[in-house]
Structure 1
Amino acid sequence: MKISIFTVFLFLSLISTAQSSKSTILINGKVTAITDGDTFKLLTQDSILHRVRIANIDCSERKQPFSKRAKQFTSNAVFGKMIKVEVLNKDRYGRLIGLVFYNDSLTLNHELVKHGLAWHYVKYSKDTILQSLEDKARKDKIGLWQDPNSIPPWEWRANKKKK
């Protein structure tokens, strides 16, 4: 009897471990449209069009300073190119949330923050690389950090809802 209980326990532990470990989903495709600095459309080889939201960052909203520059940066970096997206999640709008890799070695999430065109979205991320890139951009007053009173997009959206 002890052996069978142990066997059942071991089996359940293995199942639990297998279910809790997330498998990485990589999607390859061509960027067909840029919505804004942190959102774009990706067409895969099987002709599925995905809306992709760049994970762990937040770019300025349309009427905020640096919004157009962030959108242009994203466009220059990935529009019309074949890229890879490591899908982390899906948001409430059905967009894929992911890490975006392009030009063989660059990560768009990092590049936007590094160039002062996005905030590290700490509410949803504990990425230490993004935080150090933001800290350096702030210190060097790069991009949106030229303005000491720049408003994070999530605060800007919240203020806009109150009006």
Structure 2
Amino acid sequence: MQKSIFLLVFLFLSNFFIPASFQIPQQPNQLVLKVKVIGIKDGDTVEVLYYQLPMVVRLEHIDAPEKKQAFGTVSKQKLSDLSFGKTVTLISKGKKGSYDARGRLVAEIYLENKVCLNKEMLKSGLAWHYKKYSKSEVYAQLENAARKNRVGLWTDKNPVAPWNFRR
């Protein structure tokens, strides 16, 4: 009994001490695809090639500045530097994936070294945690750390969230 409790406590605490970018979620009923990034639309949207078919993918949990917004081109360039031309793993909810209103697959994207692009965009201060669609505490903490350290768009005195910019 004590070993079971110790194991549960260890597994719970390990999520706080193992860097989030090195954890690839393993859950049943999720869509997992290996694809090649062939285009960058903006700081939270990429185009990938899956069996010779192009597909647009929206990075889950984040919202990046629009192209015409402050830090929009910087955000797009960062995502490009991290992923363009690389083979990545997409992980989306459900066996058939999760799609947004524009028909884009919504997913977390992992590089071959298990770095999560979604989290990297937040760490670099080039995206917001999209709280309207994500309740993830990990993503909230990453945004808070970027704000605190004043990196990326958080160097701006009054950054405008993309959802407000689009109005």
TM-score, length of structure 2 as denominator length: 0.79
Matches within 5 A, 1:138-149: 138-149=147-158
Task: Determine the structure 2 residue equivalent to 1:128.
Answer: 137
Structure 2 match to 1:48: 53
Higher relative contact order (CA 8 A, sep 6+): 2
Please say if 1:29 is aligned against 2:35. Answer: yes
CA change 1:90–1:22 in 2 (3 A) is farther
Q: Tell me how far apart the structure 1 counterparts of residues 145 and 134 of structure 2 sit (CA, whole Å).
A: 18
Give me the whole-angstrom Cα distance separating, in 2, the residues matched to 1:117 and 1:47: 30
Mark the structure with the bigger radius of gyration: 1
**Letter in structure 2 aligned against 1:47:** Q
Please report how far the alpha carbon of residue 103 of structure 1 lies from its aligned counterpart in structure 2 after TM superposition. Answer: 3.4
SS of match in other structure, 2:126: coil
Rounded to whole Å, the distance in 1 between the matches of 2:85 and 2:125 is: 23
Q: Aligned partners of 1:156 and 1:40: how far apart in 2? A: 21
Shift of 1:22: 6.5
Q: Which residue of 2 aligns with 1:87?
A: 92
Q: Give the corresponding residue for 1:100.
A: 109
Q: Residue 74 in 1 paired to residue 79 in 2?
A: yes
The code of the aligned residue for 1:70 comes to S
Identity %: 39
Output the aligned Cα RMSD: 1.3
Alpha-carbon distance between aligned partners in 2 of 1:92 and 1:133, rounded to the nearest angstrom: 26
How far apart in 2 are the matches of 1:103 and 1:83? 6
TM norm structure 1: 0.81
Within the alignment, does 1:57 sit opposite 2:62 as a pair? yes
Distance 2:125 2:112 in 1: 20
Q: 2:83–2:111: 8 Å Cα contact kept in structure 1?
A: yes
Measure how far apart 1:63 and its partner are: 1.2
Q: Distance in 2 between matches of 1:142 and 1:103?
A: 26
The answer for unaligned runs of 5 or more in structure 2 is 1-26
Amino acid at match of 2:60: A
Give the corresponding residue for 1:157. Answer: 166
Change (3 A) 1:48 1:129: same
